[in-house]
Amino acid sequence: MILRPIHQEALVTALRRSPITALLGPRQCGKTTLARLVAGDKPAEFFDLDSPADQRRLQNPELALGGLQGLVILDEVQAMPELFPLLRVLADRPGHPARFLLLGSASPQIVRGASETLAGRVEFVELSGFDLSETGIEAWERLWLRGGFPRAFLAGSEDDSVAWREGFIRTYLERDIPQLGIRIAAPAMRRFWTMLAHYHGQTWNASELSRSLGLSDKTVRGYLDLLTGAFMVRQVQPWFENLGKRQVKAPKLYFRDTGLLHHLLGIPDHRTLLGHPKVGASWEGFALEQVLRAFRVDQPYFWATHGGAELDLLFQHKGRRLGFEMKLTDAPRVSASMRHAKEDLGLAHLWVVYPGKQVFPLEQGITALPLNRLAEAVAGL
C-alpha cells in the first residue's frame, strides 16, 4: 500500500473542524481506503450506498443516522442525494455528536447539491490518483505511462494495467457518465472522449468537435464541463493582461490522468509513448499536474498571444507570479517566447520543467528544473 500522508492530514483536519466533510474524486482513486485509514481503530459506522443491504438500512434514514455518534462514513453518496437535507439537520444538533464523512465520485451535481443544502456545514477535500510525492520520484516514468489510479499504477504488468484502464473506461462510459446527466450512447461518448484525447494540450475548439459528433456547440460544451467537474479533464483558463496584443481566450484542455489519455490514444507501453506524435503534449500535461499538486494550486492559468508567445502555466504563489514551461528534452533552452512571457507578465521566476537530473540557470530569472526536484523548488519559495 502507498501511504498518502498529505491527503490524510487534510482529511483529519477537515473532520476536526467541520461537522460534515465531503471527500470527492473519481471512482477507484482510493477514497474508501483513505477513509478507513483515517477511521483507524476508532469506532466508526460505514454505509456503502451502492450496496442493497445498506440501502435497506437507510430506508428510514432519520432513524438509522439520528442516534449515531462518532465518525459516520457514507460511501458513494451520489447514489442518495436526498440525504443532504437530513444531514443538515443532524449537523445542527448541539455538540455535534457525530461527524459525517461523505465519499462521492466528483460531479457538478454532488458539489452543487452539497454546497447549497449544507452551506456552512460542509468542507470539501479533493482526492485524485497518486502523484510523485506518494510514489517516489524514481517511479516517474511508470506514473507518466500508467497514470495515478492505484490499480493501474500498481498492476503487476503493463498488460494488467492496460486491462484495468479499459475496464475503468467502459464502466465509466456505461455507468458513471449517465449518472452525470449525459444522455448519449456509450460508443458515441467514447468517440467524444477519444477526440478530447487528441486535443490534450491544445486550446478548446467547440465547433470542430460539435461538427464531428453532429451536436451543437452548447451540448458539446456541456459535456466538457461535466467531465471537468468529474475530475477527468482539466480546463486551464487563459490569463489576460492589457498588453496591446491579441491574446488567446479559449481554455486549454488536459486529461488529468495520463494513463487514461494513453489508453484512449492506443499507447500500451513506454516505447510506443516515446514515438507517438502526442508525446510532447502528454509530457506537458503530466508535468503540469505534478506542479499543481506540488504547489497546491487552486486556480492555474496559461498565457498565449496570437503572435505566438505563450506560457504553459501561470499562477500566484505567496503573492508572487510564477511561470512554468514543460519541455520534453534533455537540454532545455530559453526561447523568445519565454523571454516575452517573463517580461510581459512580470514573472518573479520562470521554471522550465524537464525530465533531467540537474537544476541549472538558463538566464536571469529562468531556471531549468528537473521534474524530480519539484519539492526543492517549493521549499525554496
Q: For 286-319, how does the pLDDT look when each residue is reduced to its tens digit (9 = 90+)?
A: 999 999 999 999 899 999 987 878 999 999 999 9
Does residue 93 sit within a domain? yes
Angle CA 338–343–345, to nearest 5: 90
Q: Give pairs for 53-60: CB < 8 Å, separation 24+.
A: 55/79, 55/80, 58/83
Residue after which a domain boundary falls, among 72, 95, 126: 126
Does residue 239 sit within a domain? yes
Query: Which residues does 337 contact at the CB level (< 8 Å), separation at least 6?
Result: 308, 309, 310, 311
Q: What is the pLDDT of residue 162?
A: 97
Residues 174, 313, single domain; the answer is yes
Q: What is the pLDDT of residue 228?
A: 87
Pairwise CA distance, residues 326 & 310, whole Å: 12
Helices (H), ranges, the chain: 5-17, 31-39, 52-57, 61-66, 84-91, 108-117, 132-135, 140-146, 150-153, 158-171, 177-179, 186-198, 206-213, 217-229, 258-264, 270-274, 279-295, 336-345, 374-379
* Range of the structural domain that residue 99 is part of: 5-126
Of 193, 176, 190, 196, the C-alpha closest to 25 is 176
Q: What is the pLDDT of residue 327?
A: 96
Of 289, 290, 264, the C-alpha closest to 278 is 264
Q: 10 Å Cβ neighbour count for 141?
A: 11
Does residue 214 sit within a domain? yes
Residues 39, 65, single domain; the answer is yes
Query: Which residues does 310 contact at the CB level (< 8 Å), separation at least 6?
Result: 248, 302, 303, 304, 337, 341
Residues 190, 272, single domain; the answer is yes
Pairwise CA distance, residues 32 & 73, whole Å: 9
Q: From the centroid of its chain, how far is CA 72? A: 26
Residues 225, 115, single domain; the answer is no
Residue after which a domain boundary falls, among 75, 93, 126: 126
The 10 Å CB-count burial string (b at 16+, else e) for 334-345 is ebebbebbbebb
Residues 238, 289, single domain; the answer is yes
Task: Check if the beta carbon of residue 74 is closer than 8 Å to that of residue 110.
Answer: no
Torsion (CA) 327, 366, 311, 332 in degrees, nearest 10: -20
Q: 10 Å Cβ neighbour count for 203?
A: 15
Residues 81, 205, single domain; the answer is no
Residue after which a domain boundary falls, among 126, 158, 182: 126
Pairwise CA distance, residues 78 & 56, whole Å: 16
Task: Check if the beta carbon of residue 125 is closer than 8 Å to that of residue 98.
Answer: no
Q: What is the pLDDT of residue 237?
A: 94
Does residue 134 sit within a domain? no
CATH of the domain at 36: 3.40.50.300
Q: What is the pLDDT of residue 95?
A: 79
**pTM summary value:** 0.92
Q: What is the pLDDT of residue 244?
A: 60
Of 325, 341, 332, 335, the C-alpha closest to 359 is 332
What are the residue ranges in the chain where pLDDT is below 70?
106-111, 180-182, 242-245
Residues 89, 160, single domain; the answer is no
Residues 166, 284, single domain; the answer is yes
Q: What is the pLDDT of residue 186?
A: 82
DSSP letter, residue 318: T
Output Rg (C-alpha) for the chain, integer angstroms.
22
Q: What is the pLDDT of residue 278?
A: 97
